[in-house]
A and B are shown apart, each in its own frame.
Chain A
């Protein structure tokens, strides 16, 4: 039974891929998708896709007329909209000068595939399935020396029950350019498989906020591959709160000296949600810095996973790699897993990691109670402080309120449920 369902998705991908003319890169990707990752694979052991593999899902045919997505409170002054995984020019704004969005040609798409295949995301299901089924690979470029002032916001929406959506993006920041990007995942679908390749050229700087807020039935398997060149900077922050299963997996390659990377995240999980932040940072050259702070708040029967690997190659001397994860469990039935991994082959490095999973601190709760603050309120204050502290460190001041409110919305349902 399971075998035939597994083939169901593989066959539906094959059929779907056949409709495209530019089949070269699609065929390679399609052939490489053999099955869903098994729990025997180490990086999928804590995030099992068993129930997804039992669903009958087909890639969606994007409906290019869908147009009911104007209710969001937008924060960016420039909006790029994806619906059903397809870029929608009619719903997007004009881009500022120096920023360009285009469709990759067949040969460029093949190069894109080759770049991702060089990374450790080569076997990720979103790599192969999304490259087979994406309507097209969209490339967003910021030209050399352009510092984009306003926030750029990408919104991913659409999808259907029993359908999968496949937005694929290629983001290139040319030399000495900078961008502040906010991405919001608001799918209403069974499966979303966003795939991204990000290349930061010398001295380029990208601030990125991702908010995963898909529908409560959605599986989101986001895969991101990042290459950082000399003196480039990526400050990335993810807030995972939606979906029944959301895994954001990022592989970052520090390929140029003095590149700097922050890869922070928060997950807020309730009911039966499963949230997973998986990262791998590869220090391949000397003098790079990477910092990771991950915090989780879990209620209900939810589970949280943080897997963070830092690999320091033999030549990557004077690497500074820090990693810290903390999760707070608000119910007896929630669980959190943290799996930090350091692989260090250089001898002159500063690397540290720490992981804690626990409840709220009794001394802190009592201190608040002793000042007349009710237990429910005391818990709320401490949880918000736990997250706010981190949001302050990770996002631009002007976006702090917006991000905090997004977190607060998710928290409110957990806090009331767990304290009743």
Chain B
């Protein structure tokens, strides 16, 4: 059984068709990349999966580990093991990084039937994971994403992913706004979390990120449908010839 199953997903925003029948199966241990030109529906797909208000499916179904997500709110989906790394992580003035992480992690632990971590145990765990992502203690004391650089924001996203241990992670244009060094740190962080029990869906414009996070499958999204799926070589083809050839051929 697939870990994530998207079946014939249709979605409209303001009466405009955005997703026109997306289907995708992601199995345990796999990394999938979804590529596509601007306006192809990539970010809509990620919001739809995460359960943002207003992004409800008009038709189709999504299953996480065999369970339908349609009736679940965003927070329930997250607790069930779905994680979205934001293209533009949101600033939360006044909400301290450490207490934010703790709230998130304990919500997930409670769902999994695990005991909530006490303050000390949590801080220890958070610091350990943070150091792997080059996130300094001082950053955890600051308000979430407030005054963070582009790179810091993305590192903080991957730190959250590491601490929440999701079964399916969707990385929405995680490479945007990153320089080469930051891209490497973030990619290393993601790769360290790849295992045989989880799956990752990388949404991106560019091949560049896929040099670091090497996918098993690449899908091309255009006009709200997947027009082509293949191995990592497809990303190289896009890099070389652009999207237009593929779109015209479809």
Chain A residues near B (Cβ < 8 Å): 362-364, 366-375, 377-378, 381-382, 384-386, 388-389
Contacts and interface: CB of A to CB of B under 8 A. Distances in A.
Contact of B75 (A364, A373, A384): A373
Contact of B107 (A362, A373, A385, A386): A373
Contacts of B197: none
A374 B103 CA distance: 10
7 tightest Cβ-Cβ pairs between the two chains A and B: A385-B94, A389-B94, A372-B107, A371-B104, A372-B78, A369-B74, A367-B90
B154 interface: no
Given A362-B53, A366-B52, A366-B53, A371 B107 contact: yes
A386 to B, nearest CB: 6
A367 B86 contact: yes
How big is chain B's contact interface, by range? 20 to 34
Contacts of B89: 367
Contacts of A371: 75, 78, 100, 103-104, 107, 160, 164
A362, A369, A374, A375 pick with most chain B CB within 10 angstroms: A369
A381 B103 contact: yes
Contacts of B246: none
A372 B75 contact: yes
B242 interface: no
Given A381-B95, A385-B93, 6 more contacts: A364-B91, A367-B90, A370-B51, A372-B164, A375-B73, A381-B100
A389 B107 contact: no
B103 A377 contact: yes
11 contacts: A366-B50, A367-B86, A368-B100, A369-B51, A369-B74, A370-B86, A371-B75, A372-B79, A375-B75, A378-B75, A381-B92
Interface of B: 50-53, 73-75, 78-79, 83-84, 86, 89-95, 100, 103-104, 107-108, 111, 143, 160, 164
B147 to A, nearest CB: 13
Contacts of A367: 86, 89-90, 92
A388 B94 contact: yes
Contacts of B86: 367, 370
Contacts of A364: 90-92
A361 B73 CA distance: 17
A369 B73 contact: yes
Contacts of B91: 364
B73 A370 contact: no
Mostly, the A contact residues are helix
A382 B91 CA distance: 11
Contacts of B90: 363-364, 366-367
Nearest to B144: A367
Contacts of B73: 369, 375
B94 A373 contact: no
B194 to A, nearest CB: 21
Contacts of A385: 92-95, 143
Given A362-B53, A367-B86, A374 B92 contact: no
Given A366-B53, A378-B75, A372 B93 contact: no
Contacts of B95: 381-382, 385
A390 to B, nearest CB: 8
Contacts of B93: 385-386, 389
A374 B72 CA distance: 12
Contacts of B111: 372
Contacts of B78: 369-373
A371 to B, nearest CB: 4
A372 B167 CA distance: 14
Given A367-B89, A369-B73, A374 B107 contact: yes
Contacts of B75: 368-375, 378
Contacts of B84: 370
Contacts of A384: 94
Given A362-B53, A381-B103, A370 B74 contact: yes
Contacts of A377: 103
Nearest to B111: A372
Contacts of B52: 366, 370
A70 B29 CA distance: 65
A386 B92 CA distance: 9
A14 B95 CA distance: 54
Contacts of B79: 372
A151 B248 CA distance: 76
Given A377-B103, A385-B93, A385-B94, A372 B50 contact: no
Contacts of B51: 369-370
Contacts of A389: 93-94, 143
A387 to B, nearest CB: 8
Contacts of A381: 92, 95, 100, 103
